[in-house]
Structure 1
Amino acid sequence: MKGYLFPGQGSQYIGMGRSLYQHSGRARQMFETADRIVGFDLTRMMLEGTQEALKATTVAQPAVFLHAVATAFLSDTFRPAAVAGHSLGEIAALVAIEVISFEEGLHLVSVRSKAMQKACQLCPGTMAAVLGMQDEVVEAICAEITKEVVVPANYNCPGQLVISGSQKGVALATEALRKAGARKVIPLQVEGAFHAPLMAHAQESVAAVLSSIPFAKGICPIYQNVTGRPVTDPQIIKANLLQQLVAPIYWTKTIHHMMEDGITEYIECGPGTVLQGLVRKIAPTLSIGPL
């Protein structure tokens, strides 16, 4: 059985989507629709923009979403038994399995990206990738820092856990993690503390959009980040999407649960190869590749 994986913010790159745009009339229509919904020339940013411009949350999120959904829609072989998305990728996955429309998904992504950008400005923060340390040790060190915010945010694969929080909180945790023997602690070039309590300011705007969009029962389950478990109930999917803003991404659990449920072939649907790399570290013998 095939499971399709949709990447999140950070997978964007210069010229992303050029092949889709140049070789498909349907893709060009999707790009034009996206420009209208997000309210700026997203197409130009994707095809000609700089890496710095693409890094902005309000550009990166709709860009990655558009690329991933167009890839799925234009495929003749997209027949999932299950899907999962890393953070933002959950929304692309929901569009691909017909829970919401492309236009509704893009509107949700646009509002989400703007709300997260605003939360970054209201509560400045950052993130760092911790390599070569057991999750339990990272969790304990974060828990010991009580006067600043710092929490585990992305459980990406064994030996790679991203922490998120205030600038000082992440700095304190970084120092403690290095002393405790982490192989590396790498600051991430992000605009804020994603998947941490500092993102709570984004929840109100996202909740309003979620309440206005009717969610259908999709063609297959989605394994959601906040639990790593499969979901088909539209109301639970909505609740998990909202909680995801401030909760950790349990990607390792997600892949393990998909394996337990009989998913044997994994296909990354969208820009880049980040998720292929993570899956190979989680389970080296799994079949994984691009769509």
Structure 2
Amino acid sequence: MKAFIFPGQGCQKEGMGHDLYEKFPEARTIFENANDILGRKITDVMFYGTELELMETKNTQPSVFLYEVALATTQHELCPNVVAGHSLGEFAALVIAGAITFEDGLNLVLNRAIIGQKACEKVETGMGAIIGLSDEYVAKRIKEIWDESGEPIYFANYNGPGQVVITGSRKGVRLACKAFKDEGAKKAVPLPIGGSFHSPYMNEAKEELGEIIRKIKFSEPSIPIYQCVDAKPHTNPDEIKNNLIKHITHPVLWTNMVHNMINDGVVEFYEVGTDDTLTKIVARMYPEKTIKQLLEIDTYNNIITNYKKN
């Protein structure tokens, strides 16, 4: 079985999608459709904009979503049996699986960005990457640090064994990163992200975005989608919709998603993104499997970076 895996926010890059637009008519149609829906040329930002422009809330998430959908659409000979997306990547996965339309997906992503940004501006919050400590140890210590300081700290992403992202108050995240660095973490650093995504700080955003999601028609996907909130494959439209509503306040269970895909028979993973973030994570977890990265400059022949270990 083959899986298409879609990374989340953070993989945006200057010039992203330009080669797809030039080489593939179907990708060009998707990009122009997005320009019409948004009422502005998001493609100008993607193809010619600076890194700072791509980092603007109104640009980042739509650009990543649009790129991933366009790239996946050009893969005519490589068909996935399942899909999975990391955080924002779940929206592209839903479109490729046929659970929602491209138009609805793009509107959801734009609203997610704007609503999430509003929530972030109300409280000083942040996120931090912790590498090299067990999930159990991190869980125990963030509770202790929270109790000692009164600063809320949560898990945001379970990215792989010994690789997590924490979130919470900005002070709490800084205290935790300092403690973990002193306690032997390979890496414990605050991330350049203003916000506390995938945490209870997003409850208000969850309610607002949930109202929008409830109005959208969800269809039975053509292939199962593994969702972030429970790491399980879903084909029931109501389950998919309810999980997407929970998505904004719930941690991303990527580690379990990968384990479950492997246990269900996936032997080949293809990352649909601009870099190899998920490719490296999956390769570390299952070096014996075939893990590859789709690259827009190579899509004619599907010749891609191969992380299979011999």
Q: What TM-score range do you get, normalising by the shorter chain?
A: over 0.9
Q: How big is the shift at 1:235? A: 1.1
Q: Is the 8 A contact 2:168 2:199 kept in 1?
A: yes
Runs of 4+ displaced beyond 4 Å: none
Distance in 2 of aligned mates of 1:177 and 1:155: 16
2:252 matched to 1:258?
no
Aligned to 1:17: 17
Which of 239, 244, 258 lines up with 2:242 in the alignment?
239
Distance in 2 of aligned mates of 1:48 and 1:158: 37
Q: How does 1:220-231 map to 2 (within 5 A)?
A: 220-231=223-234
Q: Is the 8 A contact 2:128 2:191 kept in 1?
A: yes
Distance 1:49 1:191, change over 3 A: farther
Aligned to 1:268: 271
Distance in 1 of aligned mates of 2:41 and 2:228: 30
Aligned to 1:61: 61
* Further displaced range: 178-187 or 161-170: 178-187
Secondary structure of 2:121's aligned partner: helix
Distance in 2 of aligned mates of 1:125 and 1:149: 10
Q: How big is the shift at 1:29? A: 2.3
Q: Is the 8 A contact 2:26 2:73 kept in 1?
A: no
Structure 1 residues 177-207: Cα deviation after superposition (integer angstroms, max 9, x where no partner): 2232212212211131111111222112211
Q: Is the 8 A contact 1:72 1:78 kept in 2?
A: no
Amino acid at match of 1:99: A
Q: How big is the shift at 1:103? A: 0.6
Structure 1 residues 14-56: Cα deviation after superposition (integer angstroms, max 9, x where no partner): 1000111111233222212212323433111101111122123
Secondary structure of 2:155's aligned partner: strand
Aligned to 2:5: 5
Which of 170, 173, 180 lines up with 1:170 in the alignment?
173
Amino acid at match of 2:256: K
Secondary structure of 2:275's aligned partner: coil
* Consecutive unaligned residues in structure 1, runs of 5 or more: none
Which gives a bigger RCO, structure 1 or 2 (Cα 8 Å, sep 6+)? Answer: 1
Q: How big is the shift at 1:7? A: 1.1
- TM normalised by structure 2 equals 0.90
Q: How big is the shift at 1:175? A: 2.3
Q: Is the 8 A contact 1:56 1:191 kept in 2?
A: no
Secondary structure of 1:195's aligned partner: coil
Distance in 1 of aligned mates of 2:204 and 2:56: 18
Q: How big is the shift at 1:78? A: 3.9
Identity %: 43
2:101 matched to 1:107?
no
What RMSD, in angstroms, separates the aligned Cα atoms of the two structures? 1.3
Q: How does 1:43-192 map to 2 (within 5 A)?
A: 43-144=43-144, 145-146=146-147, 147-192=150-195
Corresponding pairs, count: 291
Q: How big is the shift at 1:123? A: 2.3
Distance in 2 of aligned mates of 1:189 and 1:285: 34
2:211 matched to 1:208?
yes
Distance in 1 of aligned mates of 2:17 and 2:289: 27
Q: How big is the shift at 1:234? A: 1.0
Aligned to 1:218: 221
Q: Is the 8 A contact 1:112 1:205 kept in 2?
A: no
Distance 1:38 1:125, change over 3 A: farther
Q: How big is the shift at 1:172? A: 1.7
Amino acid at match of 1:253: N
Q: Is the 8 A contact 1:98 1:218 kept in 2?
A: yes
Aligned to 1:288: 291
* Consecutive unaligned residues in structure 2, runs of 5 or more: 295-310
Amino acid at match of 2:207: E
Q: Is the 8 A contact 1:203 1:245 kept in 2?
A: yes
Structure 1 residues 147-174: Cα deviation after superposition (integer angstroms, max 9, x where no partner): 2221111111112111111111101211
